Structure 1
Amino acid sequence: MTGREREMGREEGIREVEMEEKGSVEGDLEGQRDHEVVDDDGKPKRTGTMWTASAHIITAVIGSGVLSLAWAMSQLGWIAGPVTLLLFSIITFYTSSLLADCYRTSDPISGKRNYTYIDAVKSNLGGIQLWLCGLCQYVNLFGVAVGYTITASISAAAVHKSNCFHNRGHGADCSVTDSKYMVAFGVVQIFLSQLPDFHKLWWLSILAAIMSLVYSSIAVGLSLARIISGTVGKTSLTGTEVGVDIDSAQKVWKAFQALGDIAFAYSYSMILIEIQDTLRSSPAENKVMKRASFIGVSTTTTFYILCGCLGYATFGNHAPGNILTGFGFYEPYWLVNIANVCIVVHLLGAYQVFCQPLYAAVERWIAKKCPNLQILTHEHPLMVNKHFRCRINIFRLTWRTVFVAISTLLAILMPFFNDVLAFLGAVGFWPLTVHFPIEMYISQKNITKFTSRWIALKSLSFLCFLVSLAAACASTEGVIKALHHYIPFKTKS
């Protein structure tokens, strides 16, 4: 081999090494880019933070339930009312902390992810518990959709009545059916329901959380103003008085119904795992979720105590079911209007926060049954203008529209504010907020039967079961009584 040939061989070898090194670097960079856009489970990188999770929680917790707390306080009185609020907040935060540790199986940092509440129950309990959890969660999520449609329509109708009285005088007939507002709310939800998944809701949750804080603050401010002016109702240590306000049987039923209203006001555990699945993986999701739960529950409890106690002090034992309607439709009509508009906007977002997990569950189930059905995955691009584009999935559009239509129809047929809220709270609180988190915690930690810790956890679960059972019975009795004088599509507020 000549010197020229040897020189050419060396140059070729150098080029090959350089190409290999370049390929290796490009491969490393590509792998790094892939690592940056996907999580350890291969799904798109989660970007949620403690603040977005807190916004989701506040959106879910401060809902229509806060409006009924003055009424609940009037049934329980100055002693049992605040104590019950604090106990529910402590129990909710404690069991939410147990549930946050169930997001990953075995190890809270590197274990397999559970994307939904039902996945967590399946990993830790399985069997009949899985079916019971699915039934409780999805029935409750559907019920929340109905309840929020009712509440939003009542607030929208209140704005109409307030403007009517202001323009036509206080003696005018400004009664209005809530049905048309329920239909309008449903139409807007059809559009919002096309958001593809829970991860796209962060902006709507932040907006809804702000709205909830605004109308809660207005309710507190109006209550304070009336207390300062001296125009307040009669209150007592035990709430409504037997023989004066109601009879003894009604006292018991309404006290139990008040417990259901308070339970509903703290119901967000059913979507806690779904919220946690939006968090970025560092720091550990369970630690971030516990901090977010503390922020969410402490914030809402503060507003609950203010709204409940000040509302009760304002209206006394005859507090209205919806605190904002108790301030009348006259003056300051504009401030009450702002509060009611904020309620409507908040419930537009809260509806989606609760319904997106239900949408996703149905779509996953059908995709599993029919994996080759193109209608499930094909996205049709829709360009509104050159700056805004979106994609429409035919199946998602069809089934979610049907869901919204059915929930709206049921709301029209059953618009009983307090009774519906109490029933939803009773049905969802014990199984989803208390029972399953405790059972999963016992299973995860291998807590031995009949030890002091096991007995304490089981006792807490049993006491909460009794509360839920009593509230369910009372709210059912309330719905039955309300049906006696209600005519669908004709009864006016």
Structure 2
Amino acid sequence: MAKEMQKASMFIERNPGDYENGDVDKNLDDDGRVKRTGTWLTASAHIITAVIGSGVLSLAWAIAQLGWVAGPAVLMAFSFITFFTSTLLADCYRAPDPVHGNRNYTYMDAVRAYLGGRKVQLCGLAQYVNLLGITIGYTITASISMVAVKRSNCFHKHGHHVKCQTSNNPFMIIFACIQIILSQIPNFHNLSWLSILAAIMSFAYSSIGLGLSIAKLAGGGHVRTTLTGVTVGVDVSGSEKIWRTFQAIGDIAFAYAYSTVLDTIKSSPPENKSMKRATTLGVSTTTVFYVLCGLVGYAAFGNDAPGNFLTGFGFYEPFWLIDFANICIAIHLIGAYQVFAQPLFGFAESWCARHWPENKFITGEHAVDVPCYGVYNVNFFRLVWRTAYVIVTAVVAMLFPFFNDFLGLIGAGSFWPLTVYFPIEMHIAQTKLPKYSLRWIWLKILSMICLMVSLVAAAGSVQGLIQSLKTYKPFST
């Protein structure tokens, strides 16, 4: 539902008088907004598109840390928990009744309706910090993919023994420049074409990675895999094994920490039933895809699986296909960055406009005639704030350009509050579960277990960042 914040801005506001017009009514829902036409099938597609992203790139590495037993078990556990809490969240789309109540257009609206108080602010903080972390993570991932294209061509030309060292920083700057331009698009609904392109790219590079892993596995060659993953005393020390295990859990949490885009589902049958059906198909499909990518990737690379199996150069040939896959990643993340940044932009701009409505710097629009585009309304606050935001995310990415560590930290930070805690608390409030009843107890236990898992995953990622920073020199190759 976090993406519902973005989708909410897509609805066309109508004047009250419009509702009296019978010709308009047939195009509007009972809440006066544009009639929703989505079905459980389209919602399933949205979920699959949202889930299958850059998180899939680290799954082979994560399985390598956990092994053949714990790896699939953790994947399935996260799958089940995500599915279960998503069904609870679906019932919170309307309040107070899940079928006939008032619609909640954003995650925060649902929390406000069922929990209220300071938990609304905590939900908003969790969401926006998560969005900030994701945009930084995407800057890192996109630059790594662009560097991989350059290195792939270098390896093809000079041989695999050449180091072909390349700095990420110039590519982060290029990525940031592109985002500064795209960030000036004022409304999220103007970016629908970018979201469609990003979704196509996501499926393309994920499928290429899976296909290359299958080809490598079919080609033979011995790789070392074990039931428990990387071996203490051979691959890692005892402490490294523990920290890497925690970090791997965070990477898997990142892969499953998705936001359901279900607010365009039509109201008949009831939205919560369609959402649950969509969640079943969407989560089961992505779980099958994740298990394939993770397990086949581990079988192909063994305990030496790279952190990102498309940029870690487990594959060298065909170099053109690897280049294409990494270009797809970069294009996907260019669009995905805006998908996650736009709610932050909108929140800050609407908050400032409410508090300083007379300030022309914040609210003033200046029409500029742009060749080949037409009239574009420039808002100086939007220009300065969005540009500054992109620059800050790029600078932080240059300071901490560590793919697996950062993905694990984002996953650990977002999984428990947004995927587990708030859906469970809203369900308890909605159903008025008696305190200390059997269902109340096991829901609380599930929430506490997920909290502890998130804490250890965050600890593993932070430790990984600290270790990486010991040898890393910022703003250098």
Question: Does 2:458 match 1:472?
Answer: yes
Compare CA radii of gyration and give the structure with the larger one. Answer: 1
Question: Does 2:278 match 1:288?
Answer: no
1:247 is aligned to 237
Task: Single out whichever of 357-366 and 90-99 deviates more from structure 2.
Answer: 357-366
1:86-165 equivalence runs, <5 A: 86-165=76-155
1:223 is aligned to 213
Distance 1:359 1:287, change over 3 A: farther
Question: Does 2:428 match 1:446?
Answer: no
Letter in 2 for 1:149: T
1:400 is aligned to 386
Output the CA distance in 1 between the equivalents of 2:200 and 2:255. Answer: 17
Distance 1:30 1:393, change over 3 A: farther
Letter in 1 for 2:183: S
1:339 deviates by 0.9
1:179-258 equivalence runs, <5 A: 179-258=169-248
Does the residue aligned with 2:246 lie in a helix, a strand or coil?
A: helix
1:246-325 equivalence runs, <5 A: 246-269=236-259, 272=260, 275-325=261-311
Distance 1:300 1:451, change over 3 A: same
Task: Single out whichever of 293-302 and 432-441 deviates more from structure 2.
Answer: 293-302
Query: For the Cα contact (< 8 Å) 1:235–1:313, is it kept in 2?
Result: yes
Query: For the Cα contact (< 8 Å) 2:90–2:275, is it kept in 1?
Result: yes
Q: Which runs of 5+ in 2 are unaligned?
A: 1-16
1:57 to 47, 50, 53: 47
Letter in 1 for 2:463: E
Distance 1:49 1:345, change over 3 A: farther
Task: Single out whichever of 351-360 and 370-379 deviates more from structure 2.
Answer: 370-379
Distance 1:174 1:301, change over 3 A: same
Output the CA distance in 2 between the equivalents of 1:200 and 1:292. Answer: 26
1:380-459 equivalence runs, <5 A: 380-385=366-371, 390-459=376-445
Distance 1:352 1:469, change over 3 A: same
Distance 1:195 1:49, change over 3 A: farther
Output the CA distance in 1 between the equivalents of 2:119 and 2:175. Answer: 35
1:356 to 342, 353, 373: 342
Question: CA RMSD, aligned part only?
Answer: 2.5
1:343 is aligned to 329
Query: For the Cα contact (< 8 Å) 2:96–2:114, is it kept in 1?
Result: no
Letter in 1 for 2:323: N
Query: For the Cα contact (< 8 Å) 1:59–1:349, is it kept in 2?
Result: no
Does the residue aligned with 1:314 lie in a helix, a strand or coil?
A: helix
Distance 1:221 1:41, change over 3 A: same
Question: Does 2:469 match 1:483?
Answer: yes
Letter in 1 for 2:278: A
1:320 deviates by 0.8
1:375 deviates by 5.4
1:443-467 residue CA offsets vs partner (Å, 9 max, x unmatched): 0111111112111211111111111
Q: Which runs of 5+ in 1 are unaligned?
A: 1-26
Output the CA distance in 2 between the equivalents of 1:487 and 1:258. Answer: 25
Output the CA distance in 1 between the equivalents of 2:248 and 2:323. Answer: 26
1:383-421 residue CA offsets vs partner (Å, 9 max, x unmatched): 545676654444333322221111111111110111111
Does the residue aligned with 2:102 lie in a helix, a strand or coil?
A: coil
Output the CA distance in 2 between the equivalents of 1:56 and 1:397. Answer: 31
Does the residue aligned with 1:141 lie in a helix, a strand or coil?
A: helix
Does the residue aligned with 2:444 lie in a helix, a strand or coil?
A: helix
Distance 1:371 1:279, change over 3 A: farther
Does the residue aligned with 1:323 lie in a helix, a strand or coil?
A: coil
Letter in 2 for 1:132: L
Identity %: 58
Distance 1:372 1:150, change over 3 A: same
1:22-37 equivalence runs, <5 A: 31-36=21-26
TM-score by length of 1: 0.86
2:58 is aligned to 68
1:175 deviates by 1.3
Distance 1:285 1:375, change over 3 A: farther
Distance 1:248 1:65, change over 3 A: same
Output the CA distance in 2 between the equivalents of 1:375 and 1:41. Answer: 34
Does the residue aligned with 2:127 lie in a helix, a strand or coil?
A: helix
Distance 1:221 1:131, change over 3 A: same
Letter in 2 for 1:460: L
1:226 deviates by 1.2
Query: For the Cα contact (< 8 Å) 2:305–2:314, is it kept in 1?
Result: no
1:300 deviates by 2.0
Task: Single out whichever of 478-487 and 163-172 deviates more from structure 2.
Answer: 163-172
Aligned residues: 461
Distance 1:363 1:35, change over 3 A: farther
Output the CA distance in 1 between the equivalents of 2:182 and 2:426. Answer: 34
Letter in 2 for 1:208: A
Letter in 1 for 2:276: K
Task: Single out whichever of 93-102 and 438-447 deviates more from structure 2.
Answer: 93-102
1:144 deviates by 0.6
Query: For the Cα contact (< 8 Å) 2:311–2:326, is it kept in 1?
Result: no
Letter in 2 for 1:420: F
Does the residue aligned with 2:95 lie in a helix, a strand or coil?
A: coil
Output the CA distance in 2 between the equivalents of 1:442 and 1:196. Answer: 39
Query: For the Cα contact (< 8 Å) 1:52–1:206, is it kept in 2?
Result: no
Task: Single out whichever of 435-444 and 156-165 deviates more from structure 2.
Answer: 156-165
